[in-house]
Amino acid sequence: MPLPRSAGGVSVIEIPPRSGAAFTLGKGQVLRVIDPEGRQVSDLLAYNVADVREAISNGRTFDYEETIALTAGHRLWSNRSNPMLSIVEDTVGRHDFLLTPCSEATFRHFYPEHPVHPGCFGNLAEALAPYGVEADMIPCAFNLFMNVPVTPDGRLRVDPPMSRPGDYIRLRAEMDLVVGLTACSAYASNGGSFKPIHYQLEDQGVAS
């Protein structure tokens, strides 16, 4: 379960290692996602509160932003071509929007020597179910702090995150959203260890 904390009058919620959470984010609010210990990935999903069939889309985002290197100044778009989130601040500058959330199938495929884990997919499905999001409605997530270089021949490599303790990204909601967020469960994505993720919901007056 996410654990509430307090910092500077703004509540800080901790997502324990290898788990997930879901919550609403009002238009104009800013979500700050923090990597408190460094080198920990967080999968982010977003859905339109009014109709959860409208969801974050990596393909639409790549198309309209004309880059796969998303950072401050870029927007994340929905499958209906509407902006959902704007990145207003980013202390890392390296995230992934290519790879799907890790799942039980992922662990069987890539980590047969380790116990099967529900992964980010299972954690997101459980957290988002009360909002009417079914498992088959989970798209590619925006993988915060994940480091996925693309080699010259087009191959993908998963390297340890570049985030350091306390690094963060801030995203402003461009519509009322349901957000899913995890502390990722995959070995390679997090450099072989699992740590918590923190997040804060900032009021509009705090947002950039």
pLDDT (tens, 9 = 90+) of the chain, 208 residues, equals 565 554 555 799 999 999 999 999 999 999 999 999 999 999 999 999 999 999 999 999 999 999 999 999 999 999 999 999 999 999 999 999 999 999 999 999 999 999 989 999 999 999 999 999 999 999 999 999 999 999 999 999 999 999 999 999 999 999 999 999 999 999 999 999 999 999 999 986 444 4
> Is there a contact between 74 and 87 (Cβ–Cβ < 8 Å)?
yes
The distance from CA 85 to its chain's CA centroid, rounded to whole angstroms, is 12
Q: What is the H or E stretch that residue 171 is in?
A: strand 167-173
Return the DSSP state at 101.
P
3-class DSSP state of 116:
coil
- Residue 189 to residue 43: CA distance in whole angstroms: 11
Give residue 206's pLDDT: 46
Is the pTM higher than 0.75? The answer reads: yes
